[in-house]
Amino acid sequence: MIKEKITEEYAVSKIIVDNYFKKLKNMLSCDVAVVGGGPAGLVCSYILAKNNIKVALFERKASLGGGIWGGGMMFNFILVQKELKGMFKEFNINYEVVDNRYLVTGAPELVGSLLFSVCKAGVEIFNFISAEDLVVKKNRVCGLVLNWTAVEMAKLHVDPLNMEAKYVVDATGHECSVTKKLIERKGVKLELVSGIHGEKFMNVELGEREVIENSKEVFPGLFVAGMSANAVLGGHRMGPIFGGMMLSGKKVAESLIKKL
Ligand code: 48F
């Protein structure tokens, strides 16, 4: 009997589908689910994975990097405080020191370097997926409700899928969409935070300091990192400076490492 040849069309599709489902199935139960692939989410998930923690990163959009790409008003350069030299070195980011005060790098350089390290550290990335809700049991976050961003955009009536995680990190930026959803829901008892306080006016110095202070557990099992920390806990905006975002991701990762 002549064996039928496997066509290229079949083989290519099968490999993609098999690999994706293997990755998804493996991550339906993980240690930490990070929502949002901006600077805070990228740094946080990198440090967790480097410490052998099983981490999945969910990003609504096609590309990761969040607000990094935009620099300031689409001028695609990024500034961080010179104290971040060590972190820039760890991520192998090229930069210039300006005014003996800031490190300056290109937005593509920053996204590329962060993403390279995140992938190499073993973070499993799921782009095109939105966290639309949380799984909460006995007043503790224990997972995410996920759907395709395309479903959300088209407003299709399609039920989501769920995944379980020991901890969830809301790194969704100004939107703080994950924590917002938690607070909207009935039947949750808030203890660590009373509600969404909202961001205050632009103040670079205060905003940068507060974003680190505010990066913490706001509900059992749920941490906020990056701009969502200031949006939830009422910190100032700081505009196009990204040191606080990166340090916030680091702080949350280190807190989680202690807990896990
Ligand atoms: O906005 P974003 O870059 O958040 P961040 O890490 O950094 C903030 C800075 O970019 C900037 C700033 C600097 O001074 O203030 O704004 O705190 O990245 C957030 C990412 O989360 C994704 C969104 O597409 C973006 O890439 N995101 C938001 N909501 C969801 C989500 C969701 N529900 N599910 C999945 N991804």
Each residue of 106-116: pLDDT tens digit? 999 999 999 99
What is the band of 2 on the pLDDT scale with cuts at 50, 70, 90? low
Least confident stretch, 37-46, 138-147, 164-173, 190-199: 190-199
**What is the number of the ligand 1 atom nearest to the C-alpha of 211?**
17
Q: Is the pLDDT of residue 97 over 90?
A: yes
What local confidence, expressed as pLDDT, does residue 5 receive? 82
Q: What is the DSSP string of 126-152?
A: EETEEEEEEEEETTEEEEEEEEEHHHH
Query: Hey, what domains does the chain have and what are their CATH numbers?
Result: 29-66+111-259 (3.50.50.60)
Contacts of 254 (CB under 8 A, 6+ apart): 47
Confidence band of 3 (pLDDT split at 50, 70, 90): low
For residue 175, the CA-to-ligand 1 centroid distance in Å is 7
Closest CA to ligand 1's atom 25: 66
Contact assessment for residue 127 and residue 42, using Cβ atoms and an 8 Å cutoff: no
Q: What residue's CA is closest to ligand 1, atom 33? A: 131
Q: Containing H/E element for 16?
A: helix 8-27
Residue 1 scores a pLDDT above 80: no
Ligand 1 probe mutation, 81, 118, 172, most atoms within 8 A of CB: 172
Q: Cβ < 6 Å from ligand 1: which residues?
A: 35-41, 58-61, 66-67, 130-131, 171-175, 177, 226-228, 238-239, 241-242, 245
- The dihedral over CA atoms of 217, 223, 225, 228, expressed in degrees to the nearest 10, equals -90
Distance 44 CA to ligand 1 centre (A): 13
- Helix H or strand E segment including 257: helix 243-259
Q: What is the pTM of this model?
A: 0.97
Round the average pLDDT of the chain to a whole number and report it: 97
Q: Please state, in angstroms and as integers, the Cα–Cα distance from residue 212 to each residue in 46, 104, 138, 206, 224, following that order.
A: 17, 21, 29, 10, 10
Mean pLDDT of 237-248: 97
- Angle value at C-alpha 128, between 125 and 133, nearest 5 degrees: 90
- The Cα–Cα gap between 42 and 226 comes to 10
Q: What is the pLDDT of residues 184-197, one digit of tens each?
A: 998 888 989 999 99
Q: Which atom of ligand 1 is nearest to the CA of 70?
A: 10
User: 115, 205, 245, 252: which to mutate for ligand 1, most atoms within 8 A of CB?
Assistant: 245
Q: What angle do CA 232, 209, 105 make, to 5 degrees?
A: 105
Ligand 1 centroid, distance to 247 Cα (angstroms)? 15
Q: What is the pLDDT confidence band of residue 4, given thresholds at 50, 70 and 90?
A: confident
Q: Atom 26 in ligand 1: which residue has the minimum CA distance?
A: 66
CA distance 180 to 129: 18
Q: What is the pLDDT of residue 186?
A: 87
How does 19-32 read in b/e, with b if 16+ C-beta sit within 10 Å?
eeeeebeebeebbb
CA of 1 to the centre of ligand 1 (A): 57
Q: Which two tokens stand for residue 212?
A: 């680190």
Half-sphere exposure (Cβ direction) of 114: Cα atoms closer than 13 Å: 30
Phi–psi pair at 9, nearest 5 degrees? -60, -45
Q: Please measure the distance between the N-terminal and C-terminal CA atoms of the chain and give it in whole angstroms.
A: 57
Mean pLDDT of 149-153: 97
pLDDT tens for residues 28-87? Answer: 999 999 999 999 999 999 999 999 999 999 999 999 999 999 999 999 999 999 999 999
Which helix or strand (DSSP H or E) is residue 98 part of?
Answer: strand 96-98
User: Which numbered atom of ligand 1 lies nearest the CA of 41?
Assistant: 6
Burial of 220 (0-12, 13-18, 19+ CB in 10 A): middle
CA of 66 to the centre of ligand 1 (A): 5
157-180: average pLDDT: 98
